[in-house]
């Protein structure tokens, strides 16, 4: 029987598994605090929960049905709100999906992607999946993106 990895694209075998943020219980154990005191902003979690208005708006919605794959209502509402055409707006199932989609659409194998660390780990992970070369450009000591360093990395 063949090894599953022998069937995979070679660069995919070398990619470490992406691990998102640790569960609240694990973070609490490491920090010596209660899980309910953990606020995972790096997971885009709202520690206060949904507004009552949002919860009320969800009551009676057909959440058991597959949503519109084109997200027509959402994209139209966002289009009106930001004053941009609908065809310039994309919606997805979270940032991970959008980042992955953009990398797959626009990054060719062996192209270079600049990653301004510290940042969201999905950028470099999706770039590795696309078989891109990644150049890490640290942020400044004030956490700004270092434009001169990025330019040097591009020119270098």
SS (H, E, C) 68-125: CCCCHHHHHHHHHHHCCCHHHCCCCCCHHHHHHHHHHHHCCCCCEEEECCCCCCHHHH
Asked if the model's pLDDT at residue 42 lies above 90, the reply is no
Query: Cα separation of 125 and 15, whole Å?
Result: 8
The token pair that represents 136 in the structure block: 């890490």
Q: Find the range with the poorest average confidence among 21-25, 107-111, 139-143.
A: 21-25
Cα–Cα distance for residue pair 40/56, rounded to 1 Å: 25
Instruction: Show the tokens assigned to 15.
Output: 């990619």
Same-domain pairing of 120 and 155: yes
What pLDDT score was predicted for residue 1? 55
User: 97 with 125, same domain?
Assistant: no
Whether the upstream peptide bond of residue 118 has omega within 30° of 0, thus cis, is yes
Does residue 59 lie within any of the structural domains?
A: no
In this structure, is residue 51 part of a structural domain? no
- Which domain does 70 fall in, by range? 66-106
pLDDT of residue 19: 78
113 shares a domain with 74 = no
**Residue 47 located in a structural domain:** no
83 and 102 inside one domain: yes
In a domain, 38, yes or no: no
Decide if 77 is inside a domain. Answer: yes
Rounded Cα distance between 121 and 130, Å, is 15
**Do 137 and 152 belong together in one domain?**
yes
Q: Are residues 147 and 112 in the same domain?
A: yes
> Are 100 and 112 part of one and the same domain?
no
117 and 145 co-located in one domain: yes
Which residue has 């154990």 as its token pair? Answer: 29
Inside any domain, residue 1: no
| Residue 118 resides in a domain | yes
Q: What is the pLDDT of residues 80-114, one digit of tens each?
A: 999 999 999 999 988 899 999 999 999 999 999 99
Flag whether 113 is in a domain. yes
How many domains are contained in the chain? 2
């Amino acid at each position: 029987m063949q090894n599953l990895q022998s069937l995979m694209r070679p660069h995919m075998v070398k990619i470490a598994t992406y691990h998102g943020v640790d569960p609240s219980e694990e973070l609490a154990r490491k920090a010596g605090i209660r899980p309910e005191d953990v606020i995972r902003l790096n997971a885009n979690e709202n520690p206060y929960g949904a507004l009552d208005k949002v919860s009320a708006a969800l009551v009676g919605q057909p959440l058991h049905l597959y949503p519109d794959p084109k997200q027509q209502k959402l994209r139209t509402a966002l289009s009106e709100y930001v004053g941009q055409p609908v065809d310039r707006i994309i919606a997805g199932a979270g940032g991970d999906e959008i980042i992955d989609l953009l990398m797959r659409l626009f990054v060719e194998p062996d192209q270079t992607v600049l990653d301004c660390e510290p940042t969201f780990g999905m950028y470099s992970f999706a770039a590795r999946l696309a078989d891109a070369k990644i150049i890490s450009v640290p942020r400044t000591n004030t956490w700004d993106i270092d434009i001169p360093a990025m330019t040097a990395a591009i020119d270098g």
